[in-house]
Structure formats: structure tokens, C-alpha cells
């Protein structure tokens, strides 16, 4: 039995409104979380200037000093190291899987990469303690002490292994599956006709990939990197286990650090004993949320500009 045009229109309207409500609810969660964090952090924000919180270097909650600079710097350092390590490896892997790998190889490698996304972060942390930290302490640290004394950000006097570099290496491996999977799908989505046109004009396969495929897929590749950075900014357990957790701003990749997620996870159980501790930790969570939000907005702006240029 066929529905009348009026009934179909009513069903379409109901379906559209239902999807609008669910979309508004999902979007509103971000603002609800941000507002909840702000309300809990407001006592600290009202009692201390923002400049002192952002640029204060002393973290002594028992004395009412809540300088967040060491934790903000530690977060930026670890995330930057992770992206520097992950970006070339992930993009080259994605290009290989999308353009060079035969179907048999792709069918074996893809599930293994997807498996990396399902490994619990604590397992990555344990692996970092057992493998990455000893390697830095026994090999890279002594090498830096002997040979890199004058190199900025690489020189060190002593390295126990628990460091910015250890956190960056573990975090880079954790973002591998996100960037590789999205990048590969974006590269494979480039129309085959564009590849064939470039090859017909005499371009080699590598030139076709570099000048046609990657340029066409650049906005999508940027989106993959944004997802990876967002994952890296919020990762907690693995970084907490290998970063050293020393509340001082690192000056070298071999120095220990204390990222914001690790600060929150490591200290929230103590909030009942010290005044303003609760506000300080939830204020840290608010700052972390703002970091991710602004990074995503900036990346989306660049993404939109690049997309418009491609369309033109």
C-alpha cells in the first residue's frame, strides 16, 4: 500500500527534526563539558590572575601556588615530538598501501595497523617502560651527553630514560593507526582518471603520486594529521608512565616532563585534602580542552582554504 504525498512529507519532516535534535545534542555536549569545567575552575580563576596561572613555574598546591607553565610546555613538547616522528612514517606507509602494495600485502598489513588502535594505552605504557626508556637511558642519553652538548634541545647532562623523547615515541606509535588509516582512504579516493592522465603525459609513477595524488588529497591528509594531534593531546596513561612526571619545563628532549593529562590523572585523588586543588586540576582540563578546540578550528580554517583553492 503506497503512502500519500502528505504522509511521506510528514515522515521526512519528523526524520529531519530527529536528526537535528541528535546533532544539536552531540554538539551541545562540547559546550556542556566546557561550561562544567569552567564552573568548577572559577574559584581559582577568580583568586589568581590568568597570567600567573599560565606562566607561573611553581606548582606547590600546599602553599597555594598553581603555576601551569611546566605542564603546558610538557604537553606541547610531547605532542610535537610525537607528530614529528609519526608524520613522515605514517604518510609514507599510507602512500605505500594506497599506491604500491599489492592486494595480498594490503590485506595482511591493514588489519595489523587497525589492531594498533585497539591496544589499551596502558600496554603501550608498559612497552615504553620495558623498551623505550632503557634504550634512551643506556644508548641515546649517553650519546647525547658525549656528543650533543652544544646542540639546542638535544643536549643533556643526564638522562634516566623517563623523558619527553620517551613520551613522544610512545605517543607517536599510538597515533600511527589513526593517521595511516585516514590517509590511506583519502589517497585511494583520488580518481583513477587523474593518475592515468598524468601517466599518459609521461610522468613516472612517483611523479604522479607526488604532483597529482598527494596534491589532490592534501586537504584530507591534513584532516588525518588533525585527528592524530587531537588524539596525542589528550592521551594520558601511556605518557604518564614514561614521561617522568617532574613539574619543571623541559629544556631538552631528554628531560623529564609532566603533561597536563598526566597531571590530572595522577593527582585528582588528592583534591579533597588541599583547598583550590580541585579548581586547579579542572582548570587544567579546561585549558587542555581549549587547546584541542583551537587547534581543530585553526586546522579546519586551513582545510577549508585549501579545499576552496583545489575547487578553483
What does residue 257 show for φ and ψ, rounded to 5 degrees? -145, 175
Compute the mean pLDDT over every residue in the chain, rounded to the nearest whole number. Answer: 83
Domains of the chain with CATH codes: 69-311 (1.10.3720.10)
For position 307, what pLDDT does the model report?
Answer: 60
The per-residue pLDDT for 170 is: 92
Nearest to 312 by CA among 304, 40, 241, 286: 304
At 164-216, the pLDDT tens digits run: 999 999 999 988 988 898 888 888 888 888 888 888 888 888 888 888 888 88
Q: Is the pLDDT of residue 94 over 60?
A: yes
Distance CA 30, CA 24 (A): 10
C-alpha 277, offset from chain centre: 27
DSSP, residue by residue, the chain: -PPPHHHHHHHHHHHHHHHHHHHHHHHHHHHHHHHHHHHHHHHHHHHS-HHHHHH---EEGGGTEE--HHHHHHHHHHHHHHHHHHHHHHHHHHHIIIIIS-HHHHHHHHHHHHHHHHS-HHHHHHHIIIIIHHHIIIIIHHHHHHH-TTSTBT--S---S-SHHHHHHHHHHHHHHHHHHHHHHHHHTS-HHHHHHHHHTT--HHHHIIIIIHHHHHHHHHHHHHHHHHHHHH--HHHHHHSB--SS--SBTTS-B--HHHHHHHHGGGTTTSTTHHHHHHHHHHHHHHHHHHHHHHHHHHHHHHHHHHH-
Residue 284 has pLDDT above 80, yes or no: yes
pLDDT top residue among 302 and 311: 302
- Dist. CA 253–CA 152, nearest whole Å: 10
State how far the Cα of 55 lies from the Cα of 66, in Å rounded to an integer. 10
Contact 139, 98 (CB under 8 A): no
What percent of the chain is modeled with pLDDT above 70? 91
Average pLDDT value for residue range 215-224: 82
Mean per-residue pLDDT for 17-41?
A: 88
Residues 6+ apart with CB under 8 A from 4: none
Rounded Cα distance, 281 and 44, in Å: 10
Higher model confidence: residue 300 or residue 106? 106
So what's the pLDDT on residue 226?
Answer: 82
Q: How confident is the model at residue 140 (pLDDT cuts 50, 70, 90)?
A: confident
* Reported confidence tier of residue 130, pLDDT bands at 50, 70, 90: very high
pLDDT of residue 169: 92
User: What's the pLDDT at 1?
Assistant: 46
What is the reported pLDDT for 92? 92
User: Residue 149 above 80 pLDDT?
Assistant: no
Amino acid at each position: 500500500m503506497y503512502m500519500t504525498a502528505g504522509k511521506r512529507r510528514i515522515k521526512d519532516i519528523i526524520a529531519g527534526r530527529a536528526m537535528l535534535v541528535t546533532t544539536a545534542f552531540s554538539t551541545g555536549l562540547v559546550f556542556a563539558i566546557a561550561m562544567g569545567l569552567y564552573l568548577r575552575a572559577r574559584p581559582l580563576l577568580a583568586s589568581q590572575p590568568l597570567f600567573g596561572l599560565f606562566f607561573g613555574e611553581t606548582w606547590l598546591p600546599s602553599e597555594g601556588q598553581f603555576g601551569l607553565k611546566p605542564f603546558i610546555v610538557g604537553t606541547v613538547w610531547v605532542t610535537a615530538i610525537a607528530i614529528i616522528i609519526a608524520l613522515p612514517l605514517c604518510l609514507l606507509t599510507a602512500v605505500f598501501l594506497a599506491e604500491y602494495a599489492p592486494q595480498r600485502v594490503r590485506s595482511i598489513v591493514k588489519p595489523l595497523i587497525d589492531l594498533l588502535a585497539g591496544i589499551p594505552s596502558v600496554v603501550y605504557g608498559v612497552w615504553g617502560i620495558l623498551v623505550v626508556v632503557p634504550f634512551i637511558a643506556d644508548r641515546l642519553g649517553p650519546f647525547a651527553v658525549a656528543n650533543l652538548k652544544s646542540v639546542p634541545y638535544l643536549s643533556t647532562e643526564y638522562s634516566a630514560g623517563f623523558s619527553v623523547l620517551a613520551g613522544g615515541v610512545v605517543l607517536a606509535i599510538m597515533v600511527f593507526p589513526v593517521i595511516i588509516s585516514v590517509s590511506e582512504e583519502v589517497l585511494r579516493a583520488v580518481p583513477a582518471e587523474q593518475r592515468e592522465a598524468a601517466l599518459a603525459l609521461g610522468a613516472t609513477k612517483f611523479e604522479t603520486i607526488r604532483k597529482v595524488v598527494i596534491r589532490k588529497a592534501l586537504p584530507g591528509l591534513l584532516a588525518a594529521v588533525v585527528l592524530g594531534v587531537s588524539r596525542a593531546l589528550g592521551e594520558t596513561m601511556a605518557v604518564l608512565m614514561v614521561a617522568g612526571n617532574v613539574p619543571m619545563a623541559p629544556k631538552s628532549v631528554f628531560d623529564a616532563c609532566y603533561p597536563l593529562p598526566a597531571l590530572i590523572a595522577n593527582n585528582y585523588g588528592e583534591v579533597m585534602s588541599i583547598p583550590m586543588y580541585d579548581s586547579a586540576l579542572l582548570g587544567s582540563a579546561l585549558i587542555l580542552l581549549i587547546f584541542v578546540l583551537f587547534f581543530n578550528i585553526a586546522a579546519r580554517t586551513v582545510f577549508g582554504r585549501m579545499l576552496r583553492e583545489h575547487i578553483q
